[in-house]
Structures are given as structure tokens and as C-alpha cells.
Amino acid sequence: MKLVRWGPKGAEKPGMLDASGAVRDLSGVVADITPELLSPAGLARLAAVDVEALPKVEGGQRLGVPFTGTRNFVCIGLNYADHAAETNMPIPSEPVVFLKALSALSGPFDDVEIPKFSRKTDWEVELGVVIGTRAKYVSEAEAMDHVAGYCIVNDVSEREFQLERGLTWDKGKGHDTFGPVGPWLVTKDEVPDPQNLRLGLDVDGTVMQNGSTRTMIFPVAKLVSYVSHFISLNQGDIIATGTPPGVGAGKKPEPIFLRPGQTMRVWIEGLGEQVQRTVQAG
């Protein structure tokens, strides 16, 4: 299944895609795509719905984050060896874990703000893993049992705030709109191998990132297990699993950073694509 939430910000309704890719209205079946619906029982309930019998949603509707109730927006840094190399950082011996502010969550086609006083706003296409069953101290062997599905995340980052304004990354990661998620939550049965997905990002039509999840240092099962030993993962939580090479900070001979008025296209094989326009924060 591909689950979506559509409508104005703060008033989104639940939906799912039909076989043609059109959005169908689920609001007559469920009130919203809540964390409880991401459990195996909840997803089985939705899978039993006759999608072709649901009302079609009129085209042109805004899409929001495709589920509600995220309590932890967990990110993994430097999880692709070639990305670590381009940033002149050592390959980590354990996953680098940080949290992104929940206020950064944004729809997949919403504008992305360039923060006031920013000089180094950057992009990062990432595979997002969505938790469907609470995970605490789980093994790698059982980790995937706790996954509901996958989505695209753009881990937008302000590099000066992240790396030059103290010892924590959070200031560069948590600005409003810095966490576009979606357009869909794709259930894990439709993604048989999350370690074999192409992913990439364009800016104004120029390819910046073009990689594969095959080159992750730590695969999805390892990350879910590892994080669960430090942070209890709840239904609806997101793990953004790191980015392949091609970020602006790593461009040669000179870094390239975002400015207002540009367009990012972010895509992952089988998970759709996002498009965001950059605007100056007010």
C-alpha cells in the first residue's frame, strides 16, 4: 500500500493510492493515518479496504506528511562511506545518531525556508524508515518486524549552524521545514530489499546526488536495532538513514549551497518524489 494525507496544512485527510496512482479518500474508513494504524493489525485493516470503491480525490491537492504522531525523528549521520569521504570525516565505527526537531516536519511539496543569516543551507536525500511496532532493545534479527514501511526524507541542513556554531548538530538540522517527508508511506511488503534502492536529488534540474542504498555502511536492520538500544522507538517514529554523496558542502572545487528561489527534486526508487521550492524565512 501507499498511504497519503492530503489537504490544507493542519487539516489533512487520510488517503491511499489506487492502481493508477490516483489518491482515494480514506476519511470514510478512518479519521487519520495514526500511529496505531501502522501496526500489523492496523495495516491489515487498511489492506482489506476496496480502494477502487473509495471516492477519488480531486487533483492538485496538497500532500502532507503521510502519517501522524511521530514522537522521535531520528537521523543517522555519515552512513555512506563515500559521503563521509566527501565531507572529510572518518568512517564511523558505530552509527552516528542525532534527533531532528519535530517542528521541522513538512509536506513533500511544501516550501523549504532558508533561515535568517544562513549562508550554507544544504540538501540530503535519505531513505526514511517508519516504525510500526514499538522497539526497545531489539536484535537485528527481529528489527524488521518493527518496521511499517518507508518514505523519502530530505534532511535539509544548515552547515554553518551544524558544524561551526558549537559542538552539536541540532542547530543546523531543526529549522522549520527542514524535514520534508513523503509523498507516501510505502508499506514494507512493497519494498522487498531496502538495501537495493536508487535515490537522488536535483537542484534546478542539475543532478546533485545519485546513489544507492547498497552503499550504506549500516543497513536498515542494524540501524533499527542499534537505535532501539538508546531510544525507545514508537509507532510513527522515523529513522532517516543517511545520505549518499553529492551534498552541496562536498562539491568540488567549491561548495554549493541553496538560495531562495531554487527548486529541489528528491526521489527514491519505488517511493515517489518530492519537489520543494526554497524561500527566505520571514
> The CATH number of the domain where 197 resides is what?
3.90.850.10
For 143-187, how does the pLDDT look when each residue is reduced to its tens digit (9 = 90+)? 999 999 999 999 999 999 999 998 788 999 999 999 999 999 999
**Pair 118, 199 in one domain:** yes
Q: Is residue 60 part of a domain?
A: no
Element containing residue 190 per DSSP (H, E): none
Q: Give the pLDDT score at 199.
A: 98
**Pair 36, 139 in one domain:** no
Averaged pLDDT for residues 255-262 = 98
Give the three-state DSSP class for 100: coil
Q: Is residue 135 part of a domain?
A: yes
Q: Give the pLDDT score at 159.
A: 96
Residues with Cβ within 8 Å of 154's Cβ and at least 6 positions away in sequence, in order, are 112, 123, 124, 125, 126, 179, 180, 201, 264, 266, 274, 276
Averaged pLDDT for residues 264-270 = 98
C-alpha cell at 131: 516504525
Domain containing residue 240? 73-280
Averaged pLDDT for residues 211-230 = 97
Averaged pLDDT for residues 253-276 = 98
Q: Give the pLDDT score at 81.
A: 85
For 81-134, how does the pLDDT look when each residue is reduced to its tens digit (9 = 90+)? 888 788 777 889 999 999 999 999 999 999 999 999 999 999 999 999 999 999
CB 55 within 8 A of CB 25: yes
Q: Give the pLDDT score at 69.
A: 97
Q: Give the pLDDT score at 153.
A: 99
Please determine, for residue 225, whether its predicted confidence score (pLDDT) is greater than 90.
Answer: yes
**Pair 46, 121 in one domain:** no
What's the pTM value of the predicted model, to 2 decimals?
A: 0.97
**Pair 116, 45 in one domain:** no
Sheet holding 206-212, edge to edge: 112-114, 272-280, 263-268, 198-203, 206-212
**Pair 15, 88 in one domain:** no
Please determine, for residue 203, whether its predicted confidence score (pLDDT) is greater than 90.
Answer: yes
Please determine, for residue 8, whether its predicted confidence score (pLDDT) is greater than 90.
Answer: yes
- Type of residue found at 226: Y
C-alpha cell at 174: 531543526
- 203/196 Cα distance (integer angstroms): 24
The number of residues in the chain equals 282
Q: Give the pLDDT score at 91.
A: 87
Q: Give the pLDDT score at 90.
A: 85
Mean pLDDT of all residues in the chain?
97
Averaged pLDDT for residues 12-20 = 97
Q: Give the pLDDT score at 46.
A: 98
Could you give the number of structural domains in the chain?
A: 2
**Pair 29, 77 in one domain:** no
